[in-house]
Amino acid sequence: MRLIDWSSLDAAGRREALARPARRNDAQVTNGVRAIFEDVQARGGAAVTEWSLKLDGAAPRRIAITDQGVADARAALPPAATRALKIAAENVRIFHQATRPEDSDWVETRPGVRSRIAWRPLGSAGLYVPGGTAPLFSSLLMLAIPAEVAGVGRRVAVTPPSKDGRPHPAMIVAAAEAGLEDLWLIGGAQAIAALTFGATFDDGEIEPVAKLFGPGNAWVAEAKKQAAALPGGPAVDMPAGPSELLVIADRDADVVAAAADLLSQAEHDADAQVVLVSESRGLIDGVLEEIELQLETLPRADIARAALAEGRVIRVKTIAEACEVSNLYGPEHLAIQTLDADQWVPRINAAGAVFVGPFAAETLGDYAAGPSHVLPTDGAARTVGGITTASFMTSMSVQCVTAAGAAALAPVAAQLARMEGLEAHARAADLRSGQ
């Protein structure tokens, strides 16, 4: 990890210090995704199949979530695993049911003029669940359950196939817990293309979806970006690429816990980025030493080391300055491991999720606390939030006007319309004025 003294940097140096890994913006990725999209748009399912065989070694496959299939999947897992999945699913559902947007009360801005906000679920949603080197069944829960609570009409879940071409049993159980009817084994940019353009296969059809959701590697993130740029293309939830974690730690923080949290994100992907910010050189040295000790027994140490090569250790003068650094970076995950950690939360205005205090391990949020772990990356937390039930809904204003309300308001609207040179607008208002 690169050690940086924040106070010694000018504005350009600070921007460079907080830059994401350059390979996330690789032209090869951009051009490769464009080629896949053009092919799938032209040839549909046949193109998706060819790219899947070439990149993942397996053709797309639809897995029906049947009672027998779920029973077999449960039997293949230890009882503790199925219990953990059930508890996690319950917590995710409880949180999102409690935070589901409801229609607002009527607001009367003038006598006889009432308006409200009404919420409606999306007609369809494409849910991308990362697989690759590890089956992230937790992401399936974090996407499919909020979509279910929102009332989305059609949920299409896709995930890369495992090396043997079969779904992990936990993925089947998670799909059942989320109430899905099926699961498609397709990964990468070709899966996003299938959700964007639609694709027909021997065992079923994927129809185009209204909005794309889910995290992924640089290829998936680029595919979502290109899909959203298409005329009439699907909306996207947010930039949700390789994982990020920024840890603010003071001199009293637990170096073992801080190191463990940083490694928990570094092991995700070589493109992941972790950042440690502290006012204490002693804490910094202790965390770096502990990272090396923990790496010795980490199964995914090679991946973690690749990510750590893009990591940053930033020394600041105060924890208040550490909060400023975090806001400039806009991390996907932010862990505050300081004395009286909750006092610093009001200073944070750009983070996908904030984990407060020594016991709030980011891993708890990843799996079982309740809020979705699908969060904005690449600094997008400065302007957008993570997945909520509202992400799977749209809002619209509903306006009701009585004759008396129109008589009072129409002259105002007509006056303003004529000031803008829009006479037809003004005449439409005049018709309601009662004059």
Q: Known catalytic residue: 333?
A: yes
pLDDT greater than 80 at residue 25: no
Question: Last residue of a domain, which of 188, 208, 237?
Answer: 237
pLDDT greater than 80 at residue 11: yes
Residue 315 CA from chain centroid, whole number:
29
- 350 with 280, same domain: the answer is yes
CA distances 161 to 47, 150, 152, 189, Å, are 17, 28, 25, 14
Number of domains the chain is built from? 3
Average pLDDT (91-112) is: 97
- Would you tell me how many other CB atoms lie within 10 Å of the CB of residue 118? 13
- The string of pLDDT tens digits covering residues 250-268 is 999 999 999 999 999 999 8
- 161 with 299, same domain: the answer is no
- 141 with 67, same domain: the answer is yes
- 322 with 369, same domain: the answer is yes
> What is the gyration radius of the CA atoms in the chain, in angstroms?
25
Average pLDDT (347-369) is: 95
Q: State the burial class of residue 170 (Cβ atoms within 10 Å of its Cβ: 0-12, 13-18, 19+).
A: buried
- The string of pLDDT tens digits covering residues 295-318 is 999 999 999 999 999 999 999 999
Assigned domain for 109 exists: no
Cα–Cα distance, 128 to 299 (Å, whole number) = 26
pLDDT greater than 80 at residue 149: yes
DSSP code of residue 26: -
Q: Known catalytic residue: 332?
A: yes
pLDDT greater than 80 at residue 23: no
Residue 6, pLDDT score: 95
Cα–Cα distance, 3 to 344 (Å, whole number) = 24
- 17 with 71, same domain: the answer is no
Residue 240, pLDDT score: 82
User: Which two structure tokens, joined as six digits, stand for 257?
Assistant: 């816990």
Task: Name the nearest CA neighbour of 333 among 369, 300, 303.
Answer: 369
Cα–Cα distance, 317 to 356 (Å, whole number) = 21
DSSP per-residue string spanning 171-231: HHHHHHHTT-SEEEE--HHHHHHHHHH-EEETTEEE---SEEE----HHHHHHHHHHHHST
CA distances 135 to 132, 268, 338, 386, Å, are 7, 11, 33, 21
- 94 with 220, same domain: the answer is yes
Question: Last residue of a domain, which of 201, 222, 237?
Answer: 237
Which residues are within 8 A (CB) of 141 and not within 5 positions of it... i.e. 6 or more apart? 85, 88, 89, 92, 174, 177, 178
Assigned domain for 397 exists: no
Residue 24, pLDDT score: 58
User: Which two structure tokens, joined as six digits, stand for 78?
Assistant: 């230890």
Residue 269, pLDDT score: 85
- 98 with 233, same domain: the answer is yes
Assigned domain for 435 exists: no
Cα–Cα distance, 149 to 371 (Å, whole number) = 13
- 252 with 367, same domain: the answer is yes
- The string of pLDDT tens digits covering residues 173-188 is 999 999 999 999 999 9
Residue 435, pLDDT score: 65
Assigned domain for 34 exists: no
DSSP code of residue 130: -
User: Which two structure tokens, joined as six digits, stand for 16?
Assistant: 């460079």
User: Which two structure tokens, joined as six digits, stand for 215?
Assistant: 């995290």
Assigned domain for 151 exists: yes
Which residues are within 8 A (CB) of 395 and not within 5 positions of it... i.e. 6 or more apart? 101, 117, 118, 119, 120
Share of the chain above pLDDT 70, in %: 98
Assigned domain for 75 exists: yes
Question: Does pTM surpass 0.75?
Answer: yes
Among the options 222, 332, 362, 373, which is catalytic? 332
Average pLDDT (375-402) is: 96
Sorting pLDDT into bands at 50, 70 and 90, what band is 285? very high
Question: Last residue of a domain, which of 187, 205, 237?
Answer: 237
Among the options 96, 168, 333, 373, which is catalytic? 333
Sorting pLDDT into bands at 50, 70 and 90, what band is 132? low
Cα–Cα distance, 265 to 273 (Å, whole number) = 8
- 411 with 314, same domain: the answer is no
- 132 with 167, same domain: the answer is yes
Residue 104 φ then ψ, to 5°? -75, 165
Assigned domain for 205 exists: yes
User: What is the total residue count of the chain?
Assistant: 435
Task: Name the nearest CA neighbour of 141 among 168, 176, 169.
Answer: 176
Strands 182-185 and 61-64 come out as antiparallel
Contacts 24+ apart (CB under 8 A), 347-352: 347/320, 347/323, 348/323, 350/326, 350/379, 350/381, 350/382, 351/246, 351/326, 351/381, 352/376, 352/377, 352/381, 352/385, 352/386
- 304 with 199, same domain: the answer is no
Q: Which residue has the higher pLDDT, 402 or 132?
A: 402
In the predicted model, what is the mean pLDDT of the chain?
94
pLDDT greater than 80 at residue 81: yes
Q: Whole domain around residue 202: which residue ranges?
A: 44-104+120-237
Tell me the H-state helices in 122-180.
137-150, 169-177
- 197 with 147, same domain: the answer is yes
The CATH number of residue 278's host domain is 3.40.50.1980
Share of the chain above pLDDT 90, in %: 89
